[in-house]
């Protein structure tokens, strides 16, 4: 094939082949045949299109029908497999074909790229050298109906500082919607987005009404239950960028030598009208985690785990309760193990079980005398240098050991809880902050979710019932203790206990 580049001796025209009269005849014939073929294909295509217009698929639904028929909302990554009704905007017939928001509206935020550049200068190997920090996002809300009849979720497109669309994932966001006429004063949002990273610069946002009570600044859960109605006229969207360019997915020892964990902590928000209000899966339409009314049949339940287990079992509202704690249920006790669970620490965990069984021989007995609630997670994020494979191997061996030592005692597992690094303000600390920086260095939602998913596979295989708290705590950012990315307020512990071990379960007949 001749080159199409000019040089000093030959021009493009010089290099074209000579066209003779014979060439012209063949060319005309080829053109005529091509025209006939194209016309035939066009007629076939028109017929197909016409049939699709006059005979629509039975699976297509109008937006009005969506208000009448429950649909399947499938989100495997976030455990939202359930039949749901989707809340649309105020007008069910409204359709946003090309609605999009740029956040922040004032322009790209230079802070994430500045942080990323500083991290690269200190450690050029850990971060993808081709990744630009996310400095802005574009959120699209196409409330059209797909082939499965489910209204479209929002799509978040990450953008670099120069305004280009990113084509790689690895960002950690926390996205919330709050209605403009929210009657409950406080910081609780009306919807939180469960986010799916599509690994191409885009993220699916599936908005749900949180399970958790409304936090209004008063540490009480009674009287703060959520309404089944969410105003869809308008409100605000809030986006918090916690990590960018896969930093949240780094496991030890990748960040061991970093000064801190690479948190971005950029908060952006924007007012939205009814056309950009997200579709929301309402609380009444969501599948609830399993609770365990059977817990009241045990004489004793032994919770064995970290500080999240301890604060679930007993009320630690203040220092007095820490010294003389109030247990939330008379038959629920706790053994605190302040270390991660992995193959290095496993012998220590097993010795703790031996000590508990020696002190409480009733755990050997049957007839619903005793049960175990095991768990581990927060220490595995904050203080472990071992791999997730080491944690999962140790978890299986740990459960096997308890089953062999107390074969008649049923075992339950308290799931991993989520973390929210954005609630921690390192600048507010006085004095030496090295310890705080250390325990926050690997505090990421990516790692918490990875632990939760890996543990879930083990528990499913071993047929261990789960007190599944991950999604509940994911939606409870505002319920953290002040300046604490791991632990939650005591009244939130009341809420969790009342759900998983309901108060009505304590009401028994003689």
- Span 117-134, pLDDT tens digits: 999 999 988 899 999 999
Give domain status of residue 328, yes or no. Answer: yes
Among 269, 285, 301, where does a domain finish? 285
Please check whether residues 222 and 281 belong to one and the same domain.
Answer: yes
Q: What is the pLDDT of residue 217?
A: 66
Q: Give per-residue pLDDT as tens, 27-60.
A: 444 444 444 444 444 433 333 333 222 222 222 2
Among 285, 316, 348, where does a domain finish? 285
Please check whether residues 401 and 484 belong to one and the same domain.
Answer: yes
Please check whether residues 393 and 312 belong to one and the same domain.
Answer: yes
Please check whether residues 198 and 248 belong to one and the same domain.
Answer: yes
Q: Give per-residue pLDDT as tens, 5-27.
A: 333 333 333 333 333 333 333 44
Q: What is the pLDDT of residue 108?
A: 97
Please check whether residues 86 and 141 belong to one and the same domain.
Answer: yes
Which range (12-21, 332-341, 343-352) has the least confidence?
12-21
User: Where does the pLDDT of residue 2 fall: very low under 50, low under 70, confident under 90, or very high at 90 and above?
Assistant: very low
φ and ψ of 208, to 5 deg: -130, 150
Domain that holds residue 96: 65-285
Q: Environment class of residue 127 by beta-carbon count within 10 Å: exposed (0-12), middle (13-18) or buried (19+)?
A: buried
Percent of the chain clearing pLDDT 70 (strictly above): 73
* Distance from C-alpha of 133 to C-alpha of 171, rounded to nearest angstrom: 9
Per-residue CA distances from 137 to 104, 118, 140, 173, 275 (Å) = 7, 22, 10, 11, 18
Q: Which of 248, 268, 281 is nearest to 443 (CA)?
A: 248
Please check whether residues 324 and 396 belong to one and the same domain.
Answer: yes
* Distance from C-alpha of 342 to C-alpha of 364, rounded to nearest angstrom: 26
Quote the pTM value: 0.78
Mean pLDDT is highest, among 188-192, 250-254, 368-372, 395-399, for 395-399
Mean pLDDT of 220-243: 79
Give domain status of residue 297, yes or no. Answer: yes
Give domain status of residue 42, yes or no. Answer: no
What is the four-CA torsion angle of 390, 396, 400, 402, rounded to 10 degrees?
Answer: 80
pLDDT at residue 233 tops 70:
yes
Q: Which of 307, 364, 374, 315 is nearest to 338 (CA)?
A: 307
Whether residue 253 is preceded by a cis peptide bond, meaning omega within 30 degrees of 0, is yes
Give domain status of residue 6, yes or no. Answer: no
Please check whether residues 456 and 473 belong to one and the same domain.
Answer: yes
Please check whether residues 408 and 351 belong to one and the same domain.
Answer: yes
Q: What is the pLDDT of residue 99?
A: 67
The tally of domains found in the chain comes to: 2
Give domain status of residue 55, yes or no. Answer: no
Please check whether residues 144 and 211 belong to one and the same domain.
Answer: yes
More confident position, 298 or 141: 298
pLDDT at residue 191 tops 70:
yes
pLDDT at residue 431 tops 80:
yes
More confident position, 344 or 78: 344
Give domain status of residue 25, yes or no. Answer: no
Please check whether residues 299 and 195 belong to one and the same domain.
Answer: no
Q: Give per-residue pLDDT as tens, 472-481.
A: 999 999 999 9
More confident position, 51 or 307: 307
């Amino acid at each position: 094939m001749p080159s199409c580049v000019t040089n000093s001796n030959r021009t493009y025209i010089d290099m074209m082949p000579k066209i003779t009269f014979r060439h012209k005849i063949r060319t005309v014939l080829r053109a005529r045949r091509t025209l006939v073929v194209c016309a035939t294909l066009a007629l076939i295509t028109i017929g197909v299109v016409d049939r699709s217009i006059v005979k629509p698929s039975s699976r297509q639904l109008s937006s009005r029908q969506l208000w009448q028929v429950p649909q399947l909302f499938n989100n495997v990554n976030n455990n939202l497999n359930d039949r749901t009704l989707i809340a649309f905007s105020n007008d069910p017939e409204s359709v946003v074909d090309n609605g999009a928001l740029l956040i922040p509206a004032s322009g790209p935020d230079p802070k994430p790229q500045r942080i990323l550049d500083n991290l690269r200068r200190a450690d050029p190997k850990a971060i993808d050298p081709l990744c630009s920090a996310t400095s802005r996002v574009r959120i699209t809300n196409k409330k059209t109906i797909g082939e499965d009849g489910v209204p479209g979720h929002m799509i978040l497109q990450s953008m670099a500082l120069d305004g280009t669309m990113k084509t790689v994932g690895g960002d950690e966001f926390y996205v919330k919607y709050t209605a403009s006429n929210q009657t409950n004063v406080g910081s609780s949002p009306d919807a939180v987005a469960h986010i799916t990273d599509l690994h191409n610069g885009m993220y699916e946002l599936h908005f749900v009404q949180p399970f958790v009570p409304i936090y209004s600044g008063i540490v009480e859960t009674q009287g703060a239950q959520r309404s089944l109605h969410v105003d869809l006229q308008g409100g605000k969207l809030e986006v918090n960028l916690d990590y960018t360019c896969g930093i949240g997915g780094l496991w030890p020892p990748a960040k061991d030598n970093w000064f801190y964990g690479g948190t971005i902590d950029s908060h952006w928000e924007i007012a939205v009208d009814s056309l950009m209000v997200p579709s929301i899966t309402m609380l009444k339409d969501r599948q609830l985690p399993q609770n365990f009314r059977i817990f009241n049949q045990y004489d004793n339940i032994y919770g064995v785990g970290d500080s999240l287990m301890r604060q679930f079992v007993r009320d630690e509202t203040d220092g007095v309760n820490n010294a003389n704690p109030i247990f939330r249920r008379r038959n629920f006790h706790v053994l605190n193990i302040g270390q991660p669970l992995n193959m290095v620490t496993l012998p220590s965990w097993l010795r703790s079980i031996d000590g508990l069984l020696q002190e409480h021989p009733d755990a050997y007995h049957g007839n619903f005398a005793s049960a175990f609630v095991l768990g581990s997670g927060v220490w595995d994020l904050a203080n472990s240098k071992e791999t997730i494979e080491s944690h999962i191997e140790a978890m299986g061996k740990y459960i096997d050991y308890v089953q062999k030592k107390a074969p008649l005692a049923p075992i339950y597992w308290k799931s991993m809880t989520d973390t929210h690094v954005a609630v921690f303000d390192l600048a507010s600390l006085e004095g030496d902050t090295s310890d705080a920086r250390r325990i926050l260095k690997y505090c990421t939602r990516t790692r918490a979710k990875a632990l939760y998913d890996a543990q879930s596979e083990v528990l499913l295989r071993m047929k261990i019932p789960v007190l599944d708290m991950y999604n509940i705590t994911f939606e409870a950012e505002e319920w953290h203790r002040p300046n604490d990315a791991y632990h939650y307020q005591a009244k939130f512990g009341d809420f969790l206990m009342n759900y998983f071990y309901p108060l009505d379960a304590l009401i028994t007949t003689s």
